[in-house]
Amino acid sequence: MQLFSLSGRTAIVTGSSMGIGFALSRGLAQAGAKLVLNARNADRLEKAANTLRAEGADIVTLAFDVTDPDAARTAVDAYEAEHGPIDILVNNAGMQHRTPLEDFPAEMFEKLMLTNVNSVFYVGQAVARHMIKRGAGKIVNIASVQTALARPGIAPYTTTKGAVANLTKGMATDWAKYGLNCNAIAPGYFDTPLNAALVADPEFSAWLEKRTPAGRWGNVEELIGACIFLSSDAASFVNGHTLFVDGGITASL
């Protein structure tokens, strides 16, 4: 359907060399978008790009540190000047650190905030400044089931993802009048490199299967539809919303 087509549009996905970012990049390309892949590790980024190029995707790589506001703005401005407009931004870059709250290192709390929250602001602002001038743009921030729920050992991560949801509301409140749609996707428990330790833990997996109405881990490909929807004309009047894709875990006790 044309309503969901991303043909002729360019999407930048941060943290797209693996995991959810890579899967979403593949899905956006399949919907017709030209891709700008971002990560800090240039070698890993180029490997991911070559994989998608072999599948027919139109790819440009942009290696910069999303936690550096000057680097983010410089990279985005340079891309726009050389290649043209960025129509879609997916703020996916993130990290996790698991430690009981009473022992959580202050430096890791700061690193989590910088990576999971500050980067959304830095890259979002850098891209939005161009989108505002054009009167159109789609921003999709990756939140988490921890946006709504807490679990032992990850209180600071929960803090960051709650902040992402509220920053998304703030983006919509400030930028919807300029024609931007700013929304978030909140994945539940997905089999990703970030969750590798949990996936490998039989006790945790058994708990998760009982706790989740769908009875299983999510597959990263199951996030693609939500991302295409929020990136497309189909979501033209959706703003400030966090879409949970979690197998029902936030719907049940």
Catalytic residue ranges = 157
Query: Cα(163)–Cα(147) distance, rounded to whole angstroms?
Result: 8
| Helix (H/G/I), strand (E/B), else coil: 140 | strand
Q: How far apart are CA 224 and CA 165, in angstroms?
A: 19
CA 84 and chain centroid, separation: 22
Angle, vertex CA 217, rays to CA 215 and CA 223, nearest 5: 115
Q: Any idea of the CA torsion for 61, 63, 66, 69, to the nearest 10 degrees? A: -110
Q: Which two tokens stand for residue 91?
A: 């703020």
Place of tokens 């971002």: 38
Alpha carbons 129 and 88: distance in angstroms, whole number: 13
DSSP string computed for 10-60: EEEETT-SSHHHHHHHHHHHHTT-EEEEEES-HHHHHHHHHHHHHTT--EE
